[in-house]
Amino acid sequence: MGLSADALKRGLDAIAAKEPAIARALEAAGYPEPRIRPTGYATLLRTIVGQQVSVAAASAVWARLETLLGPGIAPEALLAADFEALRACGLSRQKQGYARSLCELVSAGTLDLENLPGDDEEAIAQLVRIKGIGRWSAEVYLLFAEGRTDIWPAGDLAVQAGLHKILGLDERPGEKAARDLAEGWRPHRGAARRRSSPGTATTTPRSESAGVQGAMAFMNPAMSTSRRLRPSASCVVSVISTRL
């Protein structure tokens, strides 16, 4: 499961003890609420369904798929469905390819989502075998579903912007610099990037396919349906946003 409130607080307190700027930001904005998603196939399928569409549209597509294929949309049922039936539910040709990729890997047993490698990079490598799932989506899954404590999306522009603002840097750091800046925060970097701030827009990392922002919002229906900061954005970004 995702990081609990206690785990988030412990992690952020550990980082704040090393980084005074983070301590000041936490004092101003407080601690994030936990956001936990189930592990497994359905969460990743929701990611695919939610790409490039609104939360409401993704929910409608999901409901039609469940009506056609049954609750939970079993991988075998989706693989057996024909193209036109899935398209009538709202799945484009591209998304059908992504969904079938996920279903094939799960059905064949070559992707065991309940027993991903303990090493974060190895787990990411397993997840990005799924068509349509890039590194960012894999990282978000590992943080919010598996509760891995040290996930740090250094390529996320929101994280980079947050570091720029809260650490008082002369310019927004690139991916390498963002990774280097947080190196001393191990093994709590997942807490540092945990909190999102509805109402603040950001940009998808260049390496990630378009539309994952909507996908992750669909995975967490409690989020505002207005423009929002992507769920991978760090607590650093959220505490800054209170001052903008």
- Non-local CB neighbours of 147 within 8 Å, separated by 6+ positions: 1, 2, 3, 4, 7, 36, 190
- Non-local CB neighbours of 62 within 8 Å, separated by 6+ positions: 46, 49, 73, 218
The β-bridge partners of 228 are 198
Residue 217 phi, psi (nearest 5): -65, -40
Task: Report the distance separating Cα 204 and Cα 155, nearest Å.
Answer: 9
Q: What residue has token string 């407080």?
A: 30
- Total residue count of the chain as it appears in this document: 244
Q: Is 170 a catalytic residue?
A: no
Q: What is the DSSP code (8-state) at residue 118?
A: S
Candidate list 120, 150, 156, 170, residue with the active-site label? 156
Q: Which of 200, 145, 155 is nearest to 182 (CA)?
A: 155
Task: Report the distance separating Cα 136 and Cα 67, nearest Å.
Answer: 30
CA gyration radius, the chain: 18
Q: Enumerate the active-site residues.
A: 156
